[in-house]
């Protein structure tokens, strides 16, 4: 038990599925179950870099937004990170890559008839940038690691396959990955003014190229994403400690 640690002002790490939560639980030095609220489950984890609330939201945009809202209101997190698996969209994205989102959009939000950009929810930003400090930490962790890519990530309610990938690539040519939660997490974090980052591992390609028609198991993608997410947070904490020491 880690009852002397508080979930308030902790990092929130949000995943959709139990399998994506497993490697975080395995890596934690200690953990305490906080609550189950609707489909979302909340656990307080202790790591060498500090405390994190692991949120398993359930699959999809609505579950993701609801769980992030609950976390924001209950724990006032210092940052929210979307972790887990994703489908590869970019032509140069490969199975096993880590995609760190520098911005996120909804791929199936279309209000262009009213003058909004593709993927833009009316009266909201065109996209949701990741927090600059978290991106700096991610780049520090990723230095020298060839399987880490930084770029645009997409989310939507539709599962993307070879049959419908063409329109997405035409509309969002810079996109590297897609999933069913990250943009909803990012929008909710934006609404609450909480720093956000997305760290997803590519488990399969949404339109396989020659020689790339294979996929990782969900367990392996979850392991890769968790390793990257925890590496980012360790780098972030190290930088934060350096900044404090320099004051």
Catalytic residue among 29, 181, 204, 219: 204
Give the span between the Cα atoms of 139 and 49, in whole angstroms: 17
Look up 9 and say whether it is catalytic: no
Give the span between the Cα atoms of 113 and 167, in whole angstroms: 17
Query: Nearest to residue 56, comparing CAs of 96, 13, 94?
Result: 13
Give the span between the Cα atoms of 70 and 76, in whole angstroms: 10
* Length of the chain counted residue by residue: 247
User: 24: burial class by Cβ within 10 Å (0-12, 13-18, 19+)?
Assistant: buried
Catalytic residue among 9, 18, 20, 143: 20
**Do 199 and 82 touch, CB atoms closer than 8 A?**
yes
Look up 32 and say whether it is catalytic: no
| Half-sphere exposure of residue 167: CA atoms within 13 angstroms, side-chain side | 10
CA-atom Rg of the chain in angstroms: 17
Would you tell me the crossing angle of helices 218-246 and 18-27 to the nearest 10 degrees? 50
Q: Catalytic site residues?
A: 20, 204
């Amino acid at each position: 038990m880690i009852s002397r640690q508080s979930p308030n002002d902790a990092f929130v790490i949000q995943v959709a599925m139990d399998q994506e939560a497993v490697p975080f639980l395995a890596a934690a030095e200690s953990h305490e179950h906080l609550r189950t609220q609707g489909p979302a489950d909340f656990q307080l984890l202790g790591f060498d870099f500090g405390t994190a609330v692991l949120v398993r939201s359930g699959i999809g945009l609505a579950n993701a937004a609801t769980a992030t809202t609950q976390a924001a209101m209950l724990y006032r997190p210092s940052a929210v990170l979307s972790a887990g698996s994703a489908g590869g969209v970019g032509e140069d994205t490969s199975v096993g890559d880590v995609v760190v989102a520098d911005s996120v959009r909804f791929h199936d939000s279309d209000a262009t008839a009213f003058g909004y950009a593709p993927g833009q929810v009316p009266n909201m930003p065109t996209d949701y940038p990741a927090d600059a400090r978290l991106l700096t930490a991610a780049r520090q962790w990723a230095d020298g690691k060839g399987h880490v890519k930084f770029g645009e990530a997409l989310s939507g309610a539709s599962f993307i396959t070879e049959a419908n990938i063409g329109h997405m690539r035409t509309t969002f040519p810079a996109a590297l990955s897609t999933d069913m939660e990250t943009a909803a997490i990012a929008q909710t974090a934006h609404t609450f003014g909480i720093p956000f980052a997305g760290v997803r591992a590519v488990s399969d390609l949404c339109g396989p190229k020659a020689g790339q028609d294979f996929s990782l198991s969900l367990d392996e993608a979850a392991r890769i994403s968790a390793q990257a997410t925890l590496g980012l947070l360790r780098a972030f904490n190290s930088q934060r400690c350096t900044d404090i020491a320099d004051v």
